[in-house]
Chains A and B, each alone.
Chain A
């Protein structure tokens, strides 16, 4: 059993994992994509970055994943960052079409120089976790949109990363599939105890999934407020229709309206 389970401590007791310190990002000298973003990510957090387009959600993810350097400020990992510490899921499944499901999931290990034989058990295990163990040798084009996304998620967790970044991963899926994948994502999280930063523009998705919602505003992109969703996990379909859920959704909506309001 190579995929480790981490215990998720209650909010407020979680050890820090990563810190964004006064991060600014300016494009072309005058477009402020991100202004003074401060965020502490703790181990076990499920954080949603919620906001309108242009609020810098994706810019923040690109800076955290080191695809982009901040103009000013710093990203600090507790204990430094190593290869395989980060898993990512993009809006598109982003699979290599010429490779089978198993080969796609193997990729992060392959880039670390590990042979398939060495990590085969891990690959099989994460595919079992996302319910695709029967599709090991299928090619991406043989899979549905939701299944491709599951492969993408399996690839993101296979190295047992300290942090998983998800950039609107379910936005392009139909609602039934999206609900199913949201449920499965929470089940997965309870099994392996991963830390997630999840970018979304859906209030309902963010309330259902996360325990911290970071609300961002646009022009200039910045963090406006944080909404805590202290409903206990596991959350299931019943939670979606509960009064508690509705209350959190209302608070998040109000925060988002405030974020939109200033420039709407």
Chain B
């Protein structure tokens, strides 16, 4: 008895080699997750600079990273104004995609006939490339802003629609039975059962829609050109290209990419906040 106790006492607080190794590996991975991409980025920029200087490439063909940086700093006022417009269109389109996509999904879910009638057309809208629809849109829609919103919405709403539809239909069948036994109304079933069940699916669709609404906004700008309403980033890229201001093209491109990363990160954080308490995807894996 006392032997066992002594042994327990000696064991308390010890960590065996497996655990220590695992902890070390986890620490290294946490660091590497940030450090490695930064290092790769640094190396790529250095390599880029070296190629440009070593081969004496003229800046109107390929500017070095220093020139792109200069352009970013010097044209900051113009670029940020352009980013503001593009960002605004993207965000508005995303909000409309959420309202339209989730709204349609709920309508389809409530009425099978409605779904059978209109779902195929939602698919057709989605599979027709937006680049080919955009010119038509700008013929019939007078307001450039409205046209751009429509373009961006067209690409963004479908993932929200299809993933929310899937979610609304993925309710645990026992829970569905339970709601029936307790005499739940259609509205109660939607609100207390189907919408919460669909949330993880909806958030997955939202992440895709975030990226797509930016693509939609960029395509719309390229097709719309400028009509005295200010110019977005995509238009600035095109314009700088006509002027052989390649550095500015890169600077504007960097901002578009940054915007995409920001949207993705923001939606990931939102998803984590909404699901962390209960959904499997938000659980930390052990061992």
Contact = CB atoms under 8 A, between A and B. Distances in A.
Contacts of A112: 182-183
Contacts of B178: 88, 90, 94, 107
B186 to A, nearest CB: 12
A117 interface: no
A98 B191 CA distance: 13
Contacts of A65: 177, 181
B179 interface: yes
A67 B177 contact: yes
B278 A111 contact: no
Contact of A94 (B175, B184, B188): B175
A66 B182 CA distance: 11
Interface string B155-193: 000000000000000001011011111111000100011
Interface residues of A, number: 22
B277 interface: yes
B199 interface: yes
Contacts, number: 53
Given A67-B177, A140-B278, A94 B182 contact: no
Given A96-B175, A97-B279, A139-B277, A111 B182 contact: yes
> Max chain A CB contacts within 10 Å: which of B174, B178, B180, B181?
B178
Nearest to A110: B192
Nearest to B175: A94
A188 interface: no
Contacts of A92: 174
Contacts of B177: 65, 67, 88, 90
A141 interface: yes
A83 interface: yes
Interface residues of B, number: 21
Contacts of A66: 181
Nearest to B200: A98
Interface in A119-165: 139-141
B42 interface: no
A83 B283 contact: no
A78 to B, nearest CB: 19
Interface string B241-277: 0000000000000000000000000000000000001
B135 interface: no
Nearest to B283: A141
User: Which applies to chain B's interface (DSSP): helix, strand, loop or mixed?
Assistant: helix
A186 interface: no
Contacts of A73: none
A140 B172 CA distance: 15
Nearest to A97: B278
Contacts of B199: 98
A260 interface: no
A139 B278 contact: yes
A174 to B, nearest CB: 21
B129 interface: no
Interface of B: 172, 174-175, 177-184, 188, 192-193, 196, 199, 277-280, 283
10 contacts: A65-B181, A67-B180, A83-B182, A96-B175, A96-B192, A96-B193, A96-B196, A107-B192, A139-B278, A141-B280
Given A66-B181, A111-B183, A141-B280, 15 more contacts: A65-B181, A84-B182, A86-B181, A88-B177, A90-B177, A94-B174, A94-B175, A96-B193, A97-B278, A107-B192, A108-B182, A112-B182, A112-B183, A139-B277, A140-B278
